Amino acid sequence: MKIGFIGLGIMGKPMAKNLVKAGYSLMVNNLTPAPVEELVACGAEAGTQREIAEQCDIIMTMVPNSPQVKEIMLGEDGVGAHMKEGSIFVDMSSINPVASKEIAAELAKRNIEMLDAPVSGGEPKAIDGTLSFMVGGKQEVFDTCKPILEKMGASVIRCGDVGAGNTTKLANQIIVACNIQALSEALMLAKMADVDPELVFAAIKGGLAGSTVMNAKAPMMLEGNDKPGFRIDLHIKDLNNALECAHTVGSPVPMTAAVQEVLQWMHAHEGGTKDHSAIVQYYEYLTGVKVAK
């Protein structure tokens, strides 16, 4: 079995490396050459998108959003036009589930199966191979691809048919964003009430308010560390997709809309490339008080 991997960014590069480490035959492609060269040094093979389409049994993408996935797969002379019948496309990007269904329908005309399999966990979990995969697609296709995904993730769950994976990812991103905003407000409240935010975090992290989000992001806020594990601009993209999907199906999302406005403010104030934990800086701007020591 030969796997094609397109998109070697912050997440894609370490994910692809884990597949090489697991012994898979991998052909890689990226817009910029440096990550490709790095993967080739690890044992992968470089290839054009057409070569990947023609030679690989399973093709994976890890790119920013719906337009990029559509262009790669369905664009003029795109990958989908050259894939072998019976091959499988696994999109690990986080995109609008409506787009996932559209791509799957076009590929089905050529007898090509598809899974939408977005991930959660950020760069650290991509590196150590403990991502969470939320997958949509046929059970038999999922069963074929699950062992491969397990080389990149600690959790691989089928959530339903194509589109279910990205719907689940949107739900995940809503929860993460709202958690980070609530955490920012809480730590700022502690600081302005002359209570040490670090002690507040230590006291509550083991209780009902504790969460993976809190454990990952509170230390960053307390250190003043906004180095991106997951950039604000990417979270804006995800919440745009969540809002669009929610409006399409008629689901109320007032909290999502509120935190999206904070993220947009950060983007407008040169914060789009920062980690999404930098939401706390919005509150620091409003109050003139720093949470970090």
3, 23 Cβ separation under 8 angstroms: no
Within a 10 A sphere around the Cβ of 217, how many other Cβ atoms? 26
Residues 20, 76: Cα–Cα separation, whole Å: 30
- Hey, which residues does 89 pair with through a beta bridge? 59, 114
2 is catalytic: no
The 3-state DSSP class for residue 161 equals coil
Nearest Cα residue to 91 out of 125, 141, 48, 44: 141
For the record, the structure tokens of 74 come out as 């369905």
Which helix or strand (DSSP H or E) is residue 167 part of?
helix 164-192
Q: DSSP for 209-267?
A: T--HHHHHHHHHHHHT----SSBHHHHHHHHHHHHHHHHHHT---HHHHHHHHHHHHHI
Phi first, then psi: give them for residue 135, nearest 5 degrees.
-120, 140
Of 13, 17, 169, 217, catalytic: 169
Chain-centroid distance, C-alpha 38: 22
Residues 186, 110: Cα–Cα separation, whole Å: 53
Give the 3-state secondary structure of 115-144: EECCEECHHHHHHHCCEEEEEECCHHHHHH
The 3-state DSSP class for residue 272 equals coil
Residues tagged active-site: 169
